[in-house]
Amino acid sequence: MLGFHRRTRSLIPVKELAKYDKIPLNEEEEMEVGRDELETDMLPSASIKSRRRQLMLVYIVFLAEAIMASSLQPQLQMLISDDDYCGNLSTSYLRSILDCGYAFGGTVGIFWGFLSDRIGRRRVTLTGLWTMFICCMSMGFATDLISCTIFRFFAGMASSAIVVTSLTMIGDLSVTPAERATNVARLPLIALCGSIGPIIQNLVSGTFDVSSIWERFPTLASQIACGSLVLLIAITATIMLQETLPFEDHQQKDIMDMDCEKAAFLSTHEEPSISVVDFVRPDPISVDQFLQSPSLLVLLASFSLLSLHSSTFDVLLPHLGHSSTRHGGMGIPCSWLGLLVLIVRGISGVAILYGIPRAVQKFGLLKLYRSTSLLFPAIYAITPILALAAACSHGFVPIISTASILIKHTLTGGATVLVILLVLNTTPDAFSAGTVVGMMQVTSLFKALAVAVSGASFYLSNDFSVVTTNFALWTCLTLFGVVGAALAWFVRDHPSVERDFPSEVLCWETCFDADSEKTGEV
């Protein structure tokens, strides 16, 4: 099996690696853990501090994208009256249009991932940050739904660069699988911190008198607050963020960079006399070659369906949550819904932070992801039934609805973390990590398709009753969840040589000088 990219290479011919996939899983995991622990112990303390500092900067950069993504709510509330913000399908439809524009822009992440493997993560990250700042300020001049949707599309294009490079840099900076799981598990909680953007936006917009330019551009004050936070993060990243992708001229000075097998065969007993006289950077694996990997395609298909029903639930939540339980809703008052979701996201973020790394270590990535996928259709099917059964007792309805939202957000965040870890396992070296992470952004297209579900509900709601419409929505969510859970059973935790990647794709060339005489290529 191929693990995440490492700095060391084996002398085993690549064409013969396929037969080593037959190693028993428990032996392979023990070898992996022992190797990772050795690598961690060999890292200098200065390198560990620098790596932690860069990891903190990556989280701050990811926070900027979370602020941009959560800035939708103040815009929608200013463009739509408070009475219509939740409670009818037309508002859900309008909200999904803005989400659709942002998600469609996110599909450009394939290009950003491709670019980050060739020019570096830092350049792509800074490009995305400064473009996000421009988009924040530009969206302040949006006065209608069409212009706001157009700006949201460009904002999605810029923010996808941040998502791709942040995930890739976390993979670059993580030494062991356990450390990588912990680092990725922090992301849902950091995304929740992005909600401070809308809170500051609302506070800032309330301090200005409704006059002159503020009356003409109602979202300008809030977007200035959003842009100021993004600008501060962009300046910090420009000064302090370092490149995590190794280049040809990069000096490999760590002891872990020395290949022990080459040292044993090509040096004397006293002291290794090997020096790297030429470093040939391996060609990044192309998008076409990744598309020929069945493991990656099945994983992307499963995550795409998960994104579809999860985004559809989020889009329809203002409607389904506000509807009466007798009509197939969740019976949550509109005024409570926003605060409830914020609290639920905080609880689920903490649960993911502490629960996912331990669960991965105990059960493994694959088993945990399959089990999580199975729980989605169960939640969608049980929630309206329990809410309807508890309609006679007003005390149990909020408990059931809140528990349903909490479980759903925990499952969604946990499944996203697991998919990120699985995606990071599909690339054998650092020079192709950005490309495969960028391909994961194709799921943004399925998030955008949530507008189709809400749009169909909007147009059919006039012909059918609210009860029929709501139960039809729950049925669609359940069906999407069932198909996604079925695909999850075909997902593998690692790709294989020959079956997923041709042997010629996994060739690396390095020229060595042993005893002052150049030998051939390895």
pTM of the predicted protein model: 0.78
Q: How far apart are CA 460 and CA 468, in angstroms?
A: 10
What's the pLDDT score for residue 330? 77
Predicted local distance difference test score (pLDDT) of residue 44:
55
Q: What is the DSSP string of 62-127?
A: HHHHHHHHHTHHHHHHHHS-GGGSSSSHHHHHHHHHHHHHHHHHHTTHHHHHHHHHHH-HHHHHHH
- Segments in the chain below pLDDT 50: 1-15, 17-18, 20-23, 25-29, 33, 38, 40, 81-85, 87, 210, 249-279, 508-522
CB proximity list for 41: less than 8 A, separation 6 or greater? none
Q: Are 71 and 201 in contact (CB under 8 A)?
A: yes
pLDDT number for residue 413: 92
**Which strands, in side-by-side order, build the sheet including 274-279?**
274-279, 510-514, 517-521
Domain made up of 48-245+285-490: CATH architecture: Up-down Bundle (1.20)
Single out the residue of 87, 93, 94 nearest to residue 330, CA to CA. Answer: 87
Q: What is the pLDDT of residue 347?
A: 93
pLDDT, residue 72, reads: 62
Q: Which residue's structure tokens are 């660069």?
A: 161
pLDDT in tens, 468-484: 878 888 888 899 999 99
The total of other beta-carbon atoms located within 10 Å of residue 133's CB is 23
pLDDT in the model for residue 235:
96
> Dihedral of CA 354/360/361/367: which sign?
positive
For the chain, the structural domain boundaries read 48-245+285-490
Q: What angle do CA 420, 423, 424 make, to 5 degrees?
A: 85
